[in-house]
Each structure stands twice: as C-alpha cells, then as structure tokens.
Amino acid sequence: MKILLTADPELPVPPTLYGGIERIIDLLIEGLRRRGHEVGLVAHRDSTCAVDAFYPWPGLSSQSAWDTVRNTATLLGAVRQFQPEVLHSFSRLQYLLPLLAMDLPKVMSYQRKPTERTVRWAAKLAGDSLTFTGCSEHICRQGRVAGGTWYPIHNCVTLEKFTFQPQVEADAPLVFLSRLEAIKGAHNAIAAAKGANRRLIIAGNQVDSPEGVAYWQTQIAPHLGQDGIEYVGPVDDRQKNELLGQAAAMIVPIEWDEPFGIVFAEALACGTPVISTPRGSLPAIVRPGVDGFLVNSVDEAVEAIRQLPSIQRHHCRQRAEAHFSAETIVDQYERLYHQQVGAVLAEAALV
C-alpha cells in the first residue's frame, strides 16, 4: 500500500530534542515500511527519517495564513506526484481543503482538542472518504460533537529504549518529568513528596513565558536543595530511561485535560508506577491500584505514595507492551487504512 503522511511544519521528523508527535510519526513510518508499505512524508525540511518519497513544507508556521496557502498547494502537489492509496494527516486540517471532495481515503489524526467548526465542514465535504482519530478517547469525545467517524488510537513508545526494572531500592526517589508549568503540577508533586517524606527528582524544561518564569521562581526554585527536592534539568532518552527506571514512581499530578502524555507510557515501560490525576486521557492509561494511582488532592497523593509497595512493577510493563508499544499502534493504523480503502472502494462500486 502507498501511504502519504504529513506532520506539522514546525519540527522535523524525528525531532532533534522534544516533540512528541514527531516521534510517533517516525515510529509509524518505520513500522509501516518494515511491513512492506511504500511511505511518503510531507514535513519540515530538516526531517531525517527514512521514507520512499519526501516533500518539504515551504512554510514553517501552522499559524501563518500565507504559509497555510503555500503548504496546502504543496500537499496537493505531493498527492498528485506520489499517488497514495491513503493520505494520513498529522498536520493542519486546512491543508486538506482541495482534497476533501476527492475519493482518496483520508485519515486526520488529532493530538489536541479539535476545532468544532473546521471538523464539521470537513466531515460534510469529505463524507466517508475522511476518518478521524484522536490520541485518546477523551479527544475523540470532543471531536464527535462536530461529526465524522472517530477512533481512539493511542500514542506509543519504543519499548527497546526503556529498560524494565523489576524492583528498586526501598528509599528510591519519586520523579517528576514534564515541562515546568503550572498545568503539569510540579508544585503538587513537591507538596506530596514532602508530605510523604520522600525524595523527589524534578526533570524537564523550564518555560520562558512570563507565567512560566514566575511559576519557576515562586513555586519551584524556593524548594530546591531542601527536604530531598532536586532539579536535574532537561533529559535525553538515555537519561530519561535511567531516571524513570530508578524511581519508586513518576508523579505528575496534572491540572489540565492531558490529550495523552507519552511520558506516562514511558514510565510504565520501565515498570514504574504513575501517580497523576483522573483528567484527560489518564483514566485510559493508568489502572488505579494496578499501574499506579489517580488522585484528586495532595493528601490523596501522599496516601498513594505510601501504597506504592502494593504495585507490581511487571504489571506496569505489561500495560505498556499490550497497549502502548509501537507494534500495537502500527497494527491499529494499518487496519484503519485497509478499512478506509475498502469503504471508499465499496462506495465507488455503488455509484
């Protein structure tokens, strides 16, 4: 099968540093080509993943009207040249405008809350030739309000990059791993660690916005170097594997509706329980009492930390293998492609 994928124009595939969805696209392409599919990619000009055909975006901003016009034309040209059997977009829905009325099977994937207005008109123009996916059922529920057919397909991790640690030291630290902004809940992680008298290692990039700087200066920095609270800065994949593997739990008590959060699956891949809140996609990732705990307050987080010895770390790894491995996700997208192609062919036969 010939499959053309698109990524947002801001970051290359794979990303050089952070960039969750660009990593997922890279893994998807690798898995599809390993299965014998011919794969094309429309993405940032600095993308380095191996593909059968590559088409760079001329515009590098999803928010620029002029870049949107240029990128829309580029995608149309890529479709005409590559002649895909399926077009799978991880970029802007607006780029599909000239293609919506075509019979070409199309998949539009969302990693963020969909915009009702654009989903509604796209679903009407494309009909059955367009199917939507969300990285969680939480995203799909929001999208279905506007129409169209929606399927939840989670993001994935490369299990080989994360070493399963069946046990850790009795005094192993907790780890917070995410961006240092209020919605990720580092301040609550600090409060919970202090309440449970446990060490906490904080890793992740600081946010340069005025709100991010103020958050760091008032909620994080004053606690560092006290009561076992330590900040180690941003981490690469190797450091992440080591950090998560040695942790008693990863505690990221989010204060927003997380679309997915790849780091939660990465922690489970190491056998590390997750402590978070029951918002967004978290109820679909963490089984309370099995893979970790979902809490609604700092007091509940303190109690969850005390209950960590009841978690079997091999259950966490099994959860990652069964639901968040690259092979599992490639399987789901591949089935969707065949389903979408079959549906369009069946409709054409009736005309």
Question: What is the CATH classification number for the domain harbouring 316?
Answer: 3.40.50.2000
**165 and 313 within one domain:** yes
Q: State which residues form the domain around 237.
A: 159-323
Give the integer Cα–Cα distance in Å for 21 and 204: 17
Residue 310's pLDDT is: 97
pTM of the model as a whole = 0.91
Residue 346's pLDDT is: 72
**210 and 77 within one domain:** no
* 203-213 residues labelled b (16+ CB within 10 A) or e (exposed): bbebbeeeebe
**269 and 142 within one domain:** no
In tens digits, the chain (351 residues) has pLDDT values of: 999 999 999 999 998 766 679 989 999 999 999 999 999 999 999 999 999 999 999 999 999 999 999 999 999 999 999 999 999 999 999 999 999 999 999 999 999 999 999 999 999 999 999 999 999 999 999 999 999 999 999 999 989 999 999 999 999 999 999 999 999 999 999 999 999 999 999 999 999 999 999 999 999 999 999 999 999 999 988 999 999 999 999 999 999 999 998 999 999 999 999 999 999 999 999 999 999 999 999 999 999 999 999 999 999 999 999 999 999 999 999 999 999 998 877 766 665
**176 and 319 within one domain:** yes
**202 and 149 within one domain:** no
Cα dist. 287→273, 278, 336 in Å?
Answer: 10, 10, 27
**317 and 249 within one domain:** yes
The β-bridge relationship of strands 174-177 and 150-152 is unpaired
**6 and 95 within one domain:** yes
Cα dist. 242→46, 67, 175, 239, 292 in Å?
Answer: 29, 40, 11, 5, 19
**296 and 332 within one domain:** no
Counted domains in the chain: 2
Give the integer Cα–Cα distance in Å for 188 and 215: 12
Residue 144's pLDDT is: 97
Residue 350's pLDDT is: 63
**288 and 334 within one domain:** no
**331 and 254 within one domain:** no
**254 and 207 within one domain:** yes
**149 and 232 within one domain:** no
Of 186, 341, 316, give the one whose Cα is nearest residue 245: 316
